[in-house]
Amino acid sequence: MRIKTILNEKLRESVASVAPIALIVALLCLFFVPVSTDLMLAFVIAVILLIAGMGLFTLGTEASMTPIGNHLGSRMTKSRNLPLIIVLSFILGIAITVAEPDLQVLANNVPHINTWVLMLTVSVGVGFFLVLSMLRILFGIDLKWLLIGFYIIVFAVAAFSDPDFLSVAFDSGGVTTGPMTVPFIMALGVGVASIRSDKNAESDSFGLVGLCSIGPILAVLTLGFAYEGETADMSAQAVTSWSDTVALGTSYITAIPHYMFEVAMALAPIVVIFLIFQLVSLKLRRLPFLKIVIGVLYTYVGLVLFLTGVNVGFSSLGTLLGSEIAASDWSWLLVPVAMLMGWFIIRAEPAVHVLNRQVEEMSAGAVSEKAMGISLSAAIAAANGLAMLRVLIGINILWFLVPGYVLALTLSFFVPKMFTAIAFDSGGVASGPMTATFMLPLAMGAADAAGGNVMTDAFGLVALVAMTPLITVQIMGVIFKLRSSRAAEREAALEQAVESLGDDVIELWEVGA
């Protein structure tokens, strides 16, 4: 009964995430942009598969990836074997990132880099920076200085990188902090931090995701110097069409075995590592072990449904929609449409509500959950609008990213450390599944129709969306700090006023005497 209740809750969350996009798309297709009936039907089927897939996937990751991360993290640290911690952290970082659905969607959309080459490059970047994150927790290194140092390196490398790799690199950093990677890495950090007994142990467990998202950026930028790229069409992917309903149904049925194999290959490394740990050192009891196994099965089925829906019917309509709007006389409509989608996408993300509550609790109510929600929605809407403006005008992504990260890193000097750590962890919250699966194809279709370069103009959307929470959360941290200092000043003034009264205070019981 409990599993059924949780599954219903996850399905409701999935509906809340997918429904805003589906509704906006339906209205556009019915009244503004004509699309073929077969493509619209494929989109409807894809929406159903996405809702079911995301529901099962999130249920599975909570039941499997989070406890696996906790168990492995605490067991590694208890060994007190630093070389073992380094090697296992690197392997785990690669294993969990390969299984990230957002990364698989991005890799399938990048035309000039082999899908597995890109996925492995990104995964190695995460693995390397997960090692750094573990060392940071173990030795208590200040997150702020690590972020500043590595982002200086990132933008120095970016200045000399291949333009066709630049935007993809920053998008890679955004998609790796997705629904598979985030719970596992955060659980791993909590497990490692639990071995420390000092007061900063808990706060140091935050910031892992933010630090790990730098690895893919550097890895893909470096790949651009050595990888020649494949001779592929740099335009947006072709939109699939079907002659009848049987052809459409056959397309979905034949796609399922393909993604069953791909997902099995992606999940295999992390499952094998867990089973080895279980046999050698964890030795979990039967019930906890079975719960994790069932969670892995939910994750597998959910991921197969999710990727099938995305790749067969969901992204295709996004590409066509972007292409039709950009080619029309009212191409400017791309900007408000993208902003509207961004506003609703972020408000529907379950992880955003967790983040908002976390900030409210951390600030003791000085920054309310409602204020956080509105500010994040406005920020993500602005990011989507800027991304579409780039598509129409062709502005280099660095004109937005450099000032944005400079502002984010500067704010880290004026807010409590916890706000900085949560801010850089929350990039993945904003760049959720809907951004990679629909907004990016929308931008690709628009860039192609507008005559721009898909690689330089369309890619970068995920990066902009992932950057905005870094600024928004820390601005909320500044507000919290100002309100706290004002409250402290009022309290101090009140105490001083009471003290100044001194002997002038008349005690009531003395009057009565």
Locus of tokens 């630090």:
211
The pLDDT value given to residue 497: 72
Q: Is the pLDDT of residue 13 over 90?
A: no
Q: What is the mean pLDDT of residues 166-186?
A: 84
Q: Which of 173-182, 267-276, 391-400, 435-444 has the lowest mean pLDDT?
A: 173-182
More confident: 421 or 202: 421
Q: Is the pLDDT of residue 76 over 90?
A: no
At 198, is the pLDDT very low, low, confident or very high (cuts 50, 70, 90)?
Answer: low
Which range among 104-113, 325-334, 360-369, 403-412 has the greatest average pLDDT? 403-412
Q: Is the pLDDT of residue 248 over 80?
A: yes
The pLDDT value given to residue 49: 93
Contact criterion met (CB below 8 Å) for 61 and 299: yes
The pLDDT value given to residue 280: 87
Which range among 195-204, 243-252, 428-437 has the greatest average pLDDT? 243-252
Contact criterion met (CB below 8 Å) for 448 and 155: no
Contact criterion met (CB below 8 Å) for 204 and 136: yes
What is the C-alpha R_g of the chain? Answer: 24
More confident: 309 or 366: 309
At 349, is the pLDDT very low, low, confident or very high (cuts 50, 70, 90)?
Answer: low
The pLDDT value given to residue 351: 64
| DSSP of 405-468 | HHHHHHHTTTS-HHHHHHHHHTHHHHS-HHIIIIIHHHHHHHHHHTT--IIIIITTHHHHHHHH
* Gap between the Cα atoms of 209 and 453, Å rounded: 31
In the chain, the amino acid numbered 505 is V
Q: What is the mean pLDDT of residues 381-386?
A: 92
Best CA proximity match to 284, nearest among 74, 473, 512: 74
* Gap between the Cα atoms of 169 and 148, Å rounded: 18
Q: Is the pLDDT of residue 273 over 50?
A: yes
At 342, is the pLDDT very low, low, confident or very high (cuts 50, 70, 90)?
Answer: confident
Residues in CB range of 83: below 8 A, 6 or more apart: none
Contact criterion met (CB below 8 Å) for 437 and 103: no
The pLDDT value given to residue 234: 46
The pLDDT value given to residue 223: 93
pTM of the model: 0.84
Contact criterion met (CB below 8 Å) for 274 and 292: yes
The pLDDT value given to residue 501: 60
The pLDDT value given to residue 230: 64
The pLDDT value given to residue 509: 47
Residues in CB range of 224: below 8 A, 6 or more apart: 161, 162, 164, 165, 166, 169
Query: What tokens does 419 get?
Result: 């706000």
Q: What is the mean pLDDT of residues 141-147?
A: 88
The pLDDT value given to residue 350: 61
Percent of the chain with pLDDT strictly greater than 70: 88
SS3 category, 323 = helix
More confident: 425 or 316: 316
Q: Is the pLDDT of residue 238 over 90?
A: no
Percent of the chain with pLDDT strictly greater than 90: 32
Report CA dihedral (477, 218, 393, 326) to the nearest 10 degrees.
Answer: -100
* Gap between the Cα atoms of 462 and 175, Å rounded: 7
* Gap between the Cα atoms of 165 and 280, Å rounded: 42
Q: What is the mean pLDDT of residues 153-170?
A: 92
- Computed over every residue of the chain, the mean pLDDT equals 84
At 398, is the pLDDT very low, low, confident or very high (cuts 50, 70, 90)?
Answer: very high
More confident: 52 or 503: 52
Q: What is the mean pLDDT of residues 71-77?
A: 80
* Gap between the Cα atoms of 77 and 196, Å rounded: 9
Q: What is the mean pLDDT of residues 113-135?
A: 92
- 144: how many CB neighbours lie within 10 A of its CB? 17
Q: What is the mean pLDDT of residues 363-376?
A: 78
Best CA proximity match to 416, nearest among 145, 144, 191, 225: 144
Query: What tokens does 80 get?
Result: 């007190």
Q: How far apart are the first and last CA of the chain?
A: 69
Q: Is the pLDDT of residue 126 over 70?
A: yes
